[in-house]
C-alpha cells in the first residue's frame, strides 16, 4: 500500500492537527481530519484507516488533567475503534496532548503484558517538575526503541511545549520491565547525544522526567507517543538556527517519524 490512510482525530482545543496532517501528506499519506463528535455519532467513519493519529493541543482545555476528558470519551464511546488499531497490524501515534490521551487510555500497557495495570499503572505523565509550562527545543535520542516510528533514528532536535509532560514510574520494577522491552525508546539527552538513567538537569531534561523519558511505545512497537513535536520540524528552515548553517539537510529531524509510518505500509 503506497498511500496509507491516516485518521487525524480532532477535539475541542486540538490545535496541531493541520500541521500534523501536512507532515503526513508530505511523505505520501492520505489524511482525513475527523472530529470526535462525528466519530461518536458514526463510528463507522473510522473504518478503513491504517494510522490513527492524536495530535497536540489542549483537548477540552485540559480540564481536570491533560487529555483526561478526550481519553474518557474514547474509552466510553469508541473503545472498539481504538482496540481495533491496537490489535491489528496498524499504527497509532500520539503527539504531546495525544500522548497524554494515550497514557490515560492505557494503550502502552496492555493487560496481557501488564496484568496489574488497572490497579497499578506502570507509569504516568504529571506536572513538570518546575510547575510551569515549558516551551523550548530539546535534544532526544533513540535508546534501543522497539518503535516502528523510530526506525533508523539516532538523534533528533525537536521543539516541545507542555505543562504536564513529566514521565514518572510507579516503581523501579516497572521501569526495568518497560526498559527491557524497548518501550522507553525516546530520551532527552545532552547536546552531544549523551543520556543515562540518571535524570539530566534542566533544560536538557525540560520537565524532570524520570530516566529522561520523552516518548514511549507499546510492547509491539506499533503505538508510539512523545511529548516533543516532530511536525514542527519537518523542514530544515524550521530549525531555530537554520540561517547560520553552512549546509542544509534535506529534511528536518521530525520528518523521519512520519516517513517511517508510511514506509511501514509501502
- Is residue 96 part of the annotated active site? The answer reads yes
pLDDT (tens digit, 9 = 90+) per residue, 163-174?
999 999 999 999
pLDDT value for 111: 87
Half-sphere exposure of 62 (CA within 13 A, CB side): 19
Q: What is the dihedral of CA 196, 229, 101, 33, to 10 degrees?
A: -150
The sign of the CA dihedral 88, 89, 93, 99 is positive
* Residue 252, Cβ density class (10 Å: 0-12 exposed, 13-18 middle, ≥19 buried): buried
Distance (Å, whole) CA 266 – CA 256: 15
Number of domains in the chain: 1
- For the domain that residue 21 is a member of, what is the CATH number? 3.40.50.880
Candidate list 96, 139, 164, 255, residue with the active-site label: 96
The pLDDT value given to residue 118: 77
Fill in the DSSP letter of residue 151.
T
Separation CA 79–CA 72 (nearest Å): 10
pLDDT beneath 50, residues of the chain: none
Q: Which three cell numbers stand for residue 70?
A: 478526550
- 162 as an active site residue: the answer is no
User: What range does the domain containing 69 cover?
Assistant: 5-263
Active-site entry in 229, 233, 255, 259: 229
Q: What is the pLDDT of residue 86?
A: 81
Whether residue 16 lies in the annotated active site? no
Identify the pLDDT of residue 266: 82
CA distance 227 to 146: 17
Provide the 10 A C-beta neighbour count for residue 245: 11
pLDDT score of 150: 98
Q: In what order do the strands lie in the sheet with 30-35?
A: 30-35, 5-10, 51-54, 91-95, 223-226, 213-217, 186-188, 134-142, 155-162
One of 16, 134, 231, 238 is an active-site residue; which one?
A: 231
Amino acid at each position: 500500500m503506497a498511500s496509507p490512510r491516516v485518521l487525524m482525530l480532532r477535539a475541542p482545543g486540538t490545535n496541531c492537527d493541520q500541521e500534523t496532517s501536512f507532515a503526513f501528506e508530505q511523505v505520501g499519506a492520505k489524511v482525513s481530519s475527523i472530529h470526535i463528535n462525528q466519530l461518536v455519532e458514526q463510528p463507522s467513519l473510522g473504518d478503513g484507516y491504517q494510522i490513527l493519529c492524536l495530535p497536540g493541543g489542549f483537548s477540552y482545555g485540559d480540564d481536570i488533567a491533560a487529555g483526561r476528558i478526550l481519553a474518557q470519551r474514547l474509552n466510553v464511546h469508541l473503545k472498539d475503534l481504538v482496540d481495533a488499531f491496537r490489535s491489528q497490524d496498524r499504527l497509532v501515534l500520539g503527539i504531546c496532548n495525544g500522548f497524554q490521551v494515550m497514557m490515560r487510555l492505557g494503550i502502552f500497557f496492555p493487560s496481557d503484558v501488564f496484568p496489574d495495570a488497572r490497579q497499578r499503572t506502570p507509569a504516568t505523565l504529571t506536572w513538570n517538575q518546575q510547575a510551569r509550562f515549558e516551551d523550548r527545543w530539546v535534544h532526544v535520542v533513540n535508546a534501543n526503541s522497539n518503535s516502528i516510528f523510530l526506525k533508523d533514528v539516532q538523534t533528533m532536535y525537536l521543539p516541545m511545549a507542555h505543562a504536564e509532560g513529566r514521565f514518572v514510574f510507579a516503581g523501579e520494577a516497572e521501569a526495568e520491565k518497560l526498559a527491557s522491552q524497548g518501550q522507553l525508546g525516546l530520551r532527552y539527552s545532552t547536546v552531544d547525544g549523551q543520556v543515562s538513567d540518571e535524570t539530566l538537569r534542566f533544560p536538557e531534561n525540560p520537565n524532570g522526567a524520570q530516566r529522561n523519558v520523552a516518548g514511549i511505545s507499546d510492547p509491539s512497537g506499533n503505538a508510539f507517543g512523545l511529548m516533543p513535536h516532530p511536525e514542527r520540524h519537518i523542514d530544515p528552515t524550521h530549525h531555530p538556527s537554520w540561517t547560520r548553517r553552512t549546509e542544509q539537510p534535506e529534511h528536518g529531524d521530525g520528518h523521519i517519524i512520519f516517513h517511517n509510518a508510511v514506509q511501514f505500509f509501502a
